[in-house]
Amino acid sequence: MQGKGERKIVSSKDVARLAGCSQSTVSRVLNRPESVHPDKRERVLQAIEALQYKPNMAARSLVAKQTYTIALISGTLRNDFFAESTDRIVEYARKQGYRTIVYFESEGSLGDILAQVRSYKVDGILISCMKLEDPHYEAFATCGIPCIWFNRRHKRGGNYISMDNITAASMLTRHLLDLGHRSIAYLSGHRDISTLDERWTGFEAAMQDAGVPIAEDQVHFLDPEDSAIQKLTWKLMQRLTPPTALVCGHDELAIVCMDALLSMGLRIPEDVSVAGFDDIRMSGHQAIQLTSVGQHRFDMGEVAAEQLIALMHAEAGKEQSVIQFRCKPELFVRKSTGPVRTEQEKARNGRI
């Protein structure tokens, strides 16, 4: 008999009743979510959340020989791209009946994190913080757990989901060239990360195709600390002939540059244009309006989670194709970029 104040134990029968389905459907959502129609699966998940149903994970794991857990090893949340991706991955995995354990690269070496991940016996791993020549690649590739890299890749390939960064950089550079810019500075984090290496390759190729020389003193690869970015921005813009445009390796860096430019009394884009990559949510804010290249037709984190779950459910012992998917980029032109202005035009607009 249930005593006063005691909470009733919720069963799968209660979930089935609220969702308007059978107990077997609830079981399939928990154990083989891909076998249930998305609409019905969502009703069951909503009922589970409403009733705060806690399935017996230990029993479930013993029956299915799975933990229904994936590990996400993410880049720093100081970059909004990783914060937004983490949110989408966790939500997508939840809807598929999986929980997500999130680790951050600041928590230790990838080798240490892999040891922790293996101790939890996760079913799959998503990684967004591996460098081009990271020595831990082999350990992950041979750990016996399905792995997919997203937004980054190792030079040896493997399974990865990324944006087509070379095309993205070419699109962004051509946009500035079409506006008349020829003195374009390039600011980025270091090229030991595939994403940033590819973006530089695309920028360099677009400039060469247009016959526009790249001044060595306008190319800078630096640690992504706000103080270093601000200092470099001031240095560039105090030259006798400052650049007319800044291409930044990602939006977070671009927004710090914009803050430094405004603190100098410069106008964006009248005095200098600024553009970035990833099109994070903040870039579209009405107070920022940063021109950026991103991809929203396919959410990279969600695609990576979807492909990982498919890989986890692949038939054991069957040889699997390598997953290498590049999301098509889109250019989002906003108010941070504009045509080059002559000194006379700047004077007419009140700067001189």
Domain shared by 130 and 261, yes or no = no
Q: Are 117 and 125 contacting, i.e. CB atoms less than 8 angstroms apart?
A: yes
Q: Which amino acid is residue 200, in one-letter code?
A: W
Domain shared by 184 and 204, yes or no = yes
Whether residue 314 is contained in a domain is answered as: yes
Helix residue ranges per DSSP H, the chain:
12-19, 23-31, 38-51, 57-64, 80-95, 110-119, 137-141, 165-178, 194-209, 226-237, 251-263, 300-312, 343-348
**Cα pseudo-dihedral 308, 108, 228, 243, rounded to 10:** -20
Give the pLDDT mean for 205-214. 97
Query: pLDDT tens-digit profile of 104-158?
Result: 876 567 888 888 888 888 999 999 988 999 999 999 999 989 999 999 999 998 9
- Short-list 176, 129, 134, CA closest to 149: 129
Whether residue 2 is contained in a domain is answered as: no
Domain shared by 125 and 183, yes or no = no
What is each CA distance from 229 to 233, 236, 253, 260, 292, in whole angstroms?
A: 6, 11, 7, 8, 18
The yes-or-no verdict on residue 54 having pLDDT over 50 is: yes
Domain shared by 231 and 305, yes or no = no
Domain shared by 195 and 344, yes or no = yes
- Rounded CA gap, 185 and 254, in Å? 12
Q: List the domain range (segments joined by +) for residue 179.
A: 165-295+332-348
Whether residue 33 is contained in a domain is answered as: no
Whether residue 193 is contained in a domain is answered as: yes
Percent of the chain with pLDDT over 70: 87
Domain shared by 81 and 230, yes or no = no
Residue that has been written with the tokens 């001189």 in this structure: 352
Query: pLDDT tens-digit profile of 315-324?
Result: 555 666 789 9
- Short-list 102, 97, 100, 83, CA closest to 49: 97
Query: pLDDT tens-digit profile of 43-52?
Result: 988 888 888 8
The yes-or-no verdict on residue 69 having pLDDT over 80 is: yes
- Rounded CA gap, 188 and 224, in Å? 8
Whether residue 218 is contained in a domain is answered as: yes
Give the pLDDT mean for 296-314. 85
Whether residue 304 is contained in a domain is answered as: yes
Mean pLDDT of the chain: 87
* pTM, to two decimals: 0.79
Domain shared by 144 and 213, yes or no = no
Whether residue 259 is contained in a domain is answered as: yes
Give phi and psi for 127, each to the nearest 5.
-130, 130
- Exposure on the CB side of residue 258, measured as CA atoms within 13 A: 25
Q: Are 262 and 230 contacting, i.e. CB atoms less than 8 angstroms apart?
A: no
Domain shared by 208 and 344, yes or no = yes
- Rounded CA gap, 30 and 17, in Å? 16
> How many domains are contained in the chain?
2
Give the pLDDT mean for 82-107. 87
Domain shared by 84 and 221, yes or no = no
Could you tell me which residues are beta bridge partners of residue 248? 187
Domain at 68, CATH number? 3.40.50.2300
Domain shared by 251 and 316, yes or no = no
Q: Comparing 107 with 292, which gets the higher pLDDT?
A: 292
Cβ-based neighbour number of residue 59 at 10 Å? 9
Domain shared by 176 and 118, yes or no = no
In degrees, rounded to 5, the angle at the alpha carbon of residue 329 between the alpha carbons of residues 325 and 334 is: 160
Domain shared by 196 and 79, yes or no = no
Whether residue 32 is contained in a domain is answered as: no
The DSSP secondary structure of 256-286, one letter per residue, reads HHHHHHHHTT--TTTT-EEEEES--GGGG-T
- Enumerate residues 6+ apart whose C-beta is below 8 A from 176: 184, 245, 247, 273, 275, 337
